[in-house]
Structure 1
């Protein structure tokens, strides 16, 4: 299909096909040791090559994660989130400190994105979400997409990421396909999206794309989540394109969308939560969802007929979130509210159960339009 082909809709009919008795559920997460005792960590991703595989750096993988001090209310972390560098070798993690220097980012906090290493391994390009505005008196919900580059080196056995360029805003909502009004209801799960930029290089045509979580412009429904896309032009700018997938009337947030190519097919994945489905229709579990297509621009077909790849287990419906599928089908996420059979009823309970650290990695299997946990 050509660029700008009709958007695929994820519908209530698809979600209604989820059979709770037979749907794949992740195993219950045992108690996890936190990487950093004084910080909550979530929404992490590896520094990747353009083909999507994690880059090997000093015998391991360099990660970028969202981080925040351990606050009484774990939901408050979103208002102070900052990118942090981590290096993992095997099962050992090393904290490398904040990714961006103080005062460099134009937002009041930093949200998710992706990072690509240059072919020679000397540079990292970071695409990320700047939420709010620097020094704003009141926290706002504006989300802007920025890119910046830094030099990568190893000196005396230490990874050095230095010389970040001034962040540039590379993509803006057009109010034709994607709304620029982010406030929504103002509560977590109700704000609108223009965030989570994920780099994708299409091997079919050699073009570079950015996928992102968006919200439809001109929608009549408060539940108007979409998976947006933009293409890098010959002039090194980014051209915004119609959504790949939308969930108009069904779901408010299709978060951290990303694509891998496997066995000649394109697999599109995203995360969403049970609480952001429209209350008037069917709801799926908090989990990893996806579709498959023959080309990047679809038409897309929901995996397993419904879109659900796997959910959190019924015994722990909020235990993990923000899944990232890598080209080898390894799936990474973070420990959210573990050990609860239902969402927490008060802040102290949320704090006691919030994991704030990487979750055990999972692996999926793919066979055409079927997907399941290995």
Structure 2
């Protein structure tokens, strides 16, 4: 099907995007191919004075890792290390790090000056386009409000630049900040429409299709589902779980000019949060990945904190779940919250997956249990740094974890990676351990202002 055909279909009355169905999600289970190894703390942490979580690399229009005068750059959401980890989302700030060799990282300075939009900034992506820098981010909270709130808009900082020399990389302003996208209330739920546990309109991710040249911006959103819609068989509890992967297109290719389009994938009746969506294009196929949580699955479904993925023959094709269910990477049952916010990117003949080190030595029913620990224990158990990079075999509609690299290891194009014949997954692949289906205890984050479970 051509892109013109796809566009005509999207404009047709009654058209719906591909769906992640309950029958597909019901097949989710931990397997030797999908369970990541247990993470040990790093011997050294290049940012020990910071909490670090959602992270992304500076990339060019073709999706390749960009370099600034020989330095590669990554961006992370950060907060001061002395802050209680569960409070970090309320003060999140984007900082950047740089490396010549992909293993030794330096920096940790804020990217922006004080003029960034929102009460704080959440995750996004970064485009380096012939020397011009576009940092897409989520403007979280209305900056004009006195109290913390959870309004979300997709924004960009541009006009600034990275200056580099032998000593490193510097961010130089002035930056211009502007809102690019807000929910339309038709394809994408507004905060006022939301009746679910968590409201989302965030995580912009730049992608230019290598086959068609189309320029797009993916993001996490929710699909409006009226109670009389008949969705989920009329089950109102399931209807509240309405996550989707949104997309906007730039007709001219201008990184600042976007128009909303219908979602790429609909998770209504299945899951509330399809976080940080992104695409890896390889072998003329499109691999759509996102992260999600155990507690954001709809009642009656079992899922894990993990990386999920789908594959299609075009960006707007008929997506089918990888490995039959969508599960690509899961934490071990013994440490079900050890990592989160996975980001996949191509490397030679394989796909590498980067994430952040979340909570170790904790196997409670949910992350709500972290709040019951002493503050000292909450800090000790929070990794707050980059996890070891996973190595993934990807072929057709199947994936397999086949090795790992060290914490903070993002290899350069010139680096030869070791063979992984000796890799063995953890023995702990019990699909049931760590699963709890308690929809009656789920908190409404955006209305109460609390961060249940994944807020920790």
Q: Which residue of 1 aligns with 2:77?
A: 66
Is 1:162 matched up with 2:182? no
Check whether the contact 2:47–2:108 (CA below 8 A) recurs between aligned residues. Answer: no
Q: Which residue of 2 aligns with 1:325?
A: 344
Equivalent residue of 1:352, what SS? Answer: helix
Query: Following the alignment from structure 2 to structure 1, what is the Cα–Cα distance between the partners of residues 30 and 102?
Result: 35
Partner residue of 2:203 out of 196, 208, 214: 196
The CA deviation at 1:22 is 4.9
Q: Which residue of 2 aligns with 1:147?
A: 156
Check whether the contact 2:71–2:169 (CA below 8 A) recurs between aligned residues. Answer: no
Q: Which residue of 2 aligns with 1:273?
A: 293
Task: Please give the TM-score of this superposition, normalised by the length of structure 2.
Answer: 0.77
Bigger-Rg structure (1/2): 2
Query: Following the alignment from structure 1 to structure 2, what is the Cα–Cα distance between the partners of residues 67 and 257?
Result: 20
Equivalent residue of 1:8, what SS? Answer: coil
Query: Following the alignment from structure 1 to structure 2, what is the Cα–Cα distance between the partners of residues 347 and 219?
Result: 40
Change (3 A) 1:321 1:7: same
Partner residue of 2:388 out of 360, 367, 373: 360
Higher percent of residues as helix: 2
Query: Following the alignment from structure 2 to structure 1, what is the Cα–Cα distance between the partners of residues 189 and 329?
Result: 30
Change (3 A) 1:333 1:284: same
- Gaps (5+ residues) in structure 2? 228-238, 403-456
Partner residue of 1:97 out of 93, 97, 109: 109
Q: Which residue of 2 aligns with 1:138?
A: 147
Task: Please give the TM-score of this superposition, normalised by the length of structure 1.
Answer: 0.93
Change (3 A) 1:273 1:164: farther
Q: Which residue of 2 aligns with 1:11?
A: 21
The CA deviation at 1:213 is 0.3
The CA deviation at 1:21 is 4.8
The CA deviation at 1:363 is 1.2
The CA deviation at 1:58 is 4.3
Could you give the per-residue CA deviations for residues 148-169 of structure 1, whole angstroms, max 9, x where no partner exists? 2222221453312212432111
Structure 1, 83-92 or 254-263: larger mean CA deviation = 83-92
Q: Which residue of 2 aligns with 1:246?
A: 266
Could you give the per-residue CA deviations for residues 223-257 of structure 1, whole angstroms, max 9, x where no partner exists? 11100001002384211011111111111100000
Check whether the contact 2:71–2:168 (CA below 8 A) recurs between aligned residues. Answer: no
Higher percent of residues as strand: 1
Q: Which residue of 1 aligns with 2:434?
A: none
Could you give the per-residue CA deviations for residues 248-282 of structure 1, whole angstroms, max 9, x where no partner exists? 1111100000011111100000000101111x221
Query: Following the alignment from structure 1 to structure 2, what is the Cα–Cα distance between the partners of residues 302 and 90?
Result: 32
- Gaps (5+ residues) in structure 1? none
Q: CA RMSD in A?
A: 2.0
Length, aligned pairs only: 367
What are the residue-to-residue correspondences of 1:204-353 with 2, within 5 Å?
A: 204-220=211-227, 221-234=239-252, 236=254, 237-278=257-298, 280-328=299-347, 329-342=351-364, 343-344=366-367, 345=369, 346-348=372-374, 349-353=377-381
Query: Following the alignment from structure 1 to structure 2, what is the Cα–Cα distance between the partners of residues 269 and 179?
Result: 21
Equivalent residue of 2:337, what SS? Answer: coil
What are the residue-to-residue correspondences of 1:94-133 with 2, within 5 Å?
A: 94-102=106-114, 104-119=115-130, 122-133=131-142
Change (3 A) 1:78 1:141: same
Check whether the contact 1:182–1:191 (CA below 8 A) recurs between aligned residues. Answer: no
Partner residue of 2:399 out of 355, 359, 371: 371
Change (3 A) 1:182 1:115: farther
The CA deviation at 1:23 is 5.4
Query: Following the alignment from structure 1 to structure 2, what is the Cα–Cα distance between the partners of residues 296 and 21?
Result: 28
Could you give the per-residue CA deviations for residues 294-352 of structure 1, whole angstroms, max 9, x where no partner exists? 00001101001100112011121000000000122111100011222234522534332
Query: Following the alignment from structure 2 to structure 1, what is the Cα–Cα distance between the partners of residues 138 and 226?
Result: 23
Check whether the contact 2:355–2:389 (CA below 8 A) recurs between aligned residues. Answer: yes
